[in-house]
Amino acid sequence: AQKVTQAQTEISVVEKEDVTLDCVYETRDTTYYLFWYKQPPSGELVFLIRRNSFDEQNEISGRYSWNFQKSTSSFNFTITASQVVDSAVYFCALSTQGGSEKLVFGKGTKLTVNP
**Within 6-45, which residues bind other proteins (CB under 8 A)?**
9, 33, 35, 37, 43-45
Dihedral sign from CA coordinates of 99, 107, 111, 41: positive
CA atoms of 43 and 36, how far apart (whole Å): 15
Nearer to other proteins, 76 or 90 (CB): 90
**Beta pairing class for 32-39 and 88-96:** antiparallel
Q: How many amino acids of this chain bind other proteins (CB under 8 A)?
A: 24
Maximum alpha-carbon separation in the chain: 45
**Site residues (CB under 8 A) for other proteins, limited to 80-109:** 91, 93, 95, 97, 99-108
Q: Compute the least distance from the CB of residue 90 to other proteins, in Å.
A: 11
Amino acid identity, position 15: E
Which residues sit at the interface with other proteins, rule CB under 8 A?
A: 9, 33, 35, 37, 43-45, 47, 50, 52, 91, 93, 95, 97, 99-108
